[in-house]
Amino acid sequence: MGPGCSSVAYGASEEIGPFRINKTSSSLYLNKYSWNRVANILFLESPAGVGYSYTNTTKDALVFLIKWLSRFPQYKYRDFYISGESYAGHYVPQLAQQINDYNKKSSHPIINLKGFILGNAVTDNYYDGIGTVTYWWSHSMISDKTYKLILKHCDFKSDETSEKCDDAVNYAMNHEFGDIDQYSIYSPTCKGSKKTNNISVTLKNTLIGQRLSGYDPCTESYAEKYYNRPDVQKALHANITGISYKWTAC
């Protein structure tokens, strides 16, 4: 996930992990569609400040993997794939490159990299930005007029956005979307969720990510309640310094 979103909150707890969090955040239940039915999965929080993670570079991730495999040698030399979504479109290929370079320099490489998997990947500001807006329009989330205004006033190749571009995008988000969960437009919305009530979108870094059809739109709030529980943090050996602010999914 990313940038700034937790792989534990989304990947592990909402998508492909072995457990889901119940609606009261009091317990877990088995996810019958978990990927761990066919593979061993290791969820890595990256970069620093995401979830309970404290590091922020691909080199750090490589060092972590080497040390983890040294700690659990039974997993050495097994077929290894890296997967991710959203901003992992940058993180995953970069880590794959680091692993490939490491393997070339090592006489006995322990990471048997076979490939990587990306879903809804962030690739390039231009294509991600214009692709997002076109998705809104092609799925009748915004009007023809607003779509044309955004295309007219927004320079998707630039890191800067004009006031007219901001106005057009904000109008689309605040006045045309309606009560819709942009992460799964055909699913019910989570009432009272910050996902739908306090939406902010920048064309430079849009996190439009279609979730599995039929998903529970409130799972993010379940995760935030669960991972802020002192007993859960203690069990995970997390937040050992006792930070004052709450854990958040993003």
Could you state, in order of their start, the residue ranges of all structural domains in the chain? 124-215
H-state helical runs in the chain: 58-71, 88-105, 125-138, 144-153, 163-171, 194-197, 219-227, 230-235
The residue-averaged pLDDT of 119-146 equals 92
pLDDT of residue 198: 37
pLDDT at 69 over 60: yes
pLDDT at 78: 95
156 Cβ neighbours under 8 A, 6+ residues apart: 125, 126, 129, 130, 203
Q: Look at residue 22 and tell me whether its pLDDT is greater than 80.
A: yes
Q: Over 70: is that where the pLDDT of 215 sits?
A: no
Position 32 scores a pLDDT of 92
Higher model confidence: residue 54 or residue 142? 142
Question: pTM for the whole thing?
Answer: 0.78
Residue, of 72 and 52, whose pLDDT is higher = 72
3-state secondary structure 166-207: HHHHHHHHHHHCCCCCCCCCCCCCCCCCHHHHCCCCCHHHCC
pLDDT at 163 over 70: yes
| Residue 153 near residue 180 (C-beta atoms within 8 A) | no
- Nearest residue to 134 (alpha-carbon basis) of 125, 144, 120: 144
Say which residue, 203 or 135, is predicted with more confidence: 135
More confident residue, 134 or 218: 134
Query: Looking at per-residue confidence, does 6 or 115 come out higher?
Result: 115
Surface-to-core class of residue 91, CB atoms within 10 Å of its CB (0-12 exposed, 13-18 middle, 19+ buried) = buried
Query: Which residues on adjacent β-strands are paired with residue 118?
Result: 84
pLDDT-derived band at 178 (thresholds 50, 70, 90) equals: confident
pLDDT reported for residue 200: 36
For residue 86, pLDDT over 80 is answered with yes
Q: Are the C-beta atoms of residues 132 and 206 closer than 8 Å to each other?
A: yes
- Average the pLDDT over each of 113-117, 204-208, 240-244 and give the range with the smallest value: 204-208
Model confidence at 98: pLDDT above 80: yes
**Closest CA relative to residue 118, chosen from 83, 148, 144:** 83
What are the start-end ranges of the H helices in 123-176?
125-138, 144-153, 163-171
pLDDT reported for residue 203: 38
Tokens read off for 128? 């991600």
- For the stretch 189-213, pLDDT in tens is 787 554 443 333 333 333 333 333 4
pLDDT given for residue 205 in this prediction: 38
